[in-house]
Amino acid sequence: MELLFLGTGAGVPAKERNVSSVALQLLGERGATWLFDCGEATQHQILHTAIRPRRIEHIFITHLHGDHLFGLPGLLGSRSFQSGETPLTVFGPKGIRSFVETALAVSGTKLRYELNIVEIDEGVIFDDERFSVIAKRLDHGMPSYGFRVVEKDLPGPLLVERLQALGVRPGPIYQEIKQGKTVVLDDGTVIDGREFVGPPQKGRIVAVLGDTRFCEAAIELARDADVVVHEATFAAAEQRLAHDYFHSTTTDAAEVARRAGAKRLILTHISSRYQGEAALQLVAEARSVFPNTELAVDFASFSIPRG
């Protein structure tokens, strides 16, 4: 599991930062990539990475402002020309269906794969045997959502050394034991599989939040998360400006992570006014509240280990 930032700027593209998009790489977990937001030129940013558009399984749009959305029609169209044939689902606020369908229809774009569009509300918006995704509405000038991605706990590892000590040789029986079944060996020995499996592996939690003021919904989404991705459009001294424009400061983001008991905070959606040393100061401000804070830049990647 890895976060790869494709665009970390706010509002408009800048020389050093493209507009919003972040990929959650789940190649080991499900052979897929999930995108969160798809600002203008996201597909161009992907060209500089190892991401394969045909592996993009889900795209989650936090809100319908252009810097989070305008790259979506182009990416959907290009995916057809890049061997993308598996289904893709776009999740987003009400209006996302009209936007996508109109853009594709007007441009005469034909997709070679099944496209599903889900207009979301608060609650569980995706759930399968490996992951669930919960959405909550944040505090922004238009409907804006945050997403909590929860990896479900995995079965504990098979205690192979203990089995080998009993003379149990590898084979199909190992799978039965790992499933916790009771098995009988050729010599009549009865083995309770539950005694030969380690404790479950705790699933990871990633919170990716859309544009927002400081709010309780953000804290709830970030609760005990391994990683929180939070906008930090403004420096701490611009608190009034951030509030007026429905955005967060560095210390707002850090306070969300602190109150949520999160393990790690990554700042993104940075205004172009902060370049060079000014950008480094943003990290220092957030770390004064929440020490384990990092600043995302375009193409930065962050692995998310277990435990």
| Active-site residue list | 67
Q: Which of 54, 60, 69 is nearest to 36 (CA)?
A: 60
- The residues, ordered by sequence, that sit 6+ positions from 133 with a Cβ below 8 Å of its Cβ are 60, 91, 124, 125, 126, 127, 147, 148, 149, 150
Q: How far is CA 246 from CA 7, 206, 228, in A?
A: 20, 23, 19
d(CA 266, CA 227): 7
Query: Residue 224 has which token pair?
Result: 């005990």
Q: Which residues are annotated as a binding site for Zn(2+)?
A: 63, 65, 67-68, 140, 211, 269
d(CA 263, CA 45): 28
Residue whose tokens read 């020309």: 81
Task: Please write down the long-range contacts of 162-167, taking CB distance under 8 Å and 24 or more positions apart.
Answer: 162/196, 163/196, 166/191
d(CA 57, CA 79): 11
Q: Which residues are annotated as a binding site?
A: 63, 65, 67-68, 140, 211, 269
Q: Where are the alpha helices (DSSP H) in the chain?
A: 27-30, 42-46, 72-81, 96-106, 160-165, 172-178, 216-222, 239-244, 250-260, 277-287
